[in-house]
Amino acid sequence: MKLILTQEVSGLGAPGDVVDVKPGFGRNFLLPQGLATAWTKGGEKQVTQIKRARGKRQVRDREHALEIKAALESAPVVITARAGDEGRLFGSITVSDIAAAITNTTVDKRKIVLGAPIKLVGKHSVSVRLHPEVSADVTLDVRASKN
């Protein structure tokens, strides 16, 4: 079964790649999850469009990834959230919150790796995969909001 990937699937490919998978995997997992669309002759335009968008967001090379890593690791990222008296958060900090708080570079939330859910005020460390060879360790400073 031939499919066009719309999102990155580990071990399979990146957005815009045309892959050949077993019919059950494509029909039962990739298509319902929205990770791929069926390949058609008209899909070639879609492939070029996805690859063009990916090229704008993607880290160009290893040196560019090292520049972004230096920028991310230079200062802690401050996130404010509602918390109780003992420093326990009402909810948790998600990868979307972290991606929104990182302002100096555009980081895709799918590249952020959380070891465990962040549910306490304080300093925490998360990893950001920038390139297959480069990952940045970002320090989060989670603070209680004034509310």
Domains of the chain, by residue range, sit at 2-57, 62-144
**CATH no. of 2-57:** 3.40.5.10
CATH tag for 62-144 (out of 3.30.70.1450, 3.10.430.100, 3.40.50.150, 3.40.1030.10): 3.10.430.100
DSSP for 13-46, written as a single string: B-TT-EEE--HHHIIIIIHHHTSEEE--TTHHHH
Min mean pLDDT across 2-6, 131-135, 137-141 is at: 131-135
pLDDT of residue 104: 67
Q: What is the pLDDT of residue 124?
A: 93
Q: Tell whether the torsion through CA atoms of 86, 88, 89 and 91 is positive or negative.
A: negative
Domains 2-57 and 62-144 share a fold: no
- pTM, full prediction: 0.62
How does residue 134 score in pLDDT terms, banded at 50, 70 and 90? Answer: confident
129: confidence class by pLDDT, cuts 50, 70, 90:
confident
Q: How does pLDDT run across 18-64, given as a tens digit for each residue?
A: 899 999 999 999 999 999 988 887 777 777 777 776 666 555 677 77
- What's the confidence (pLDDT) of residue 58? 58
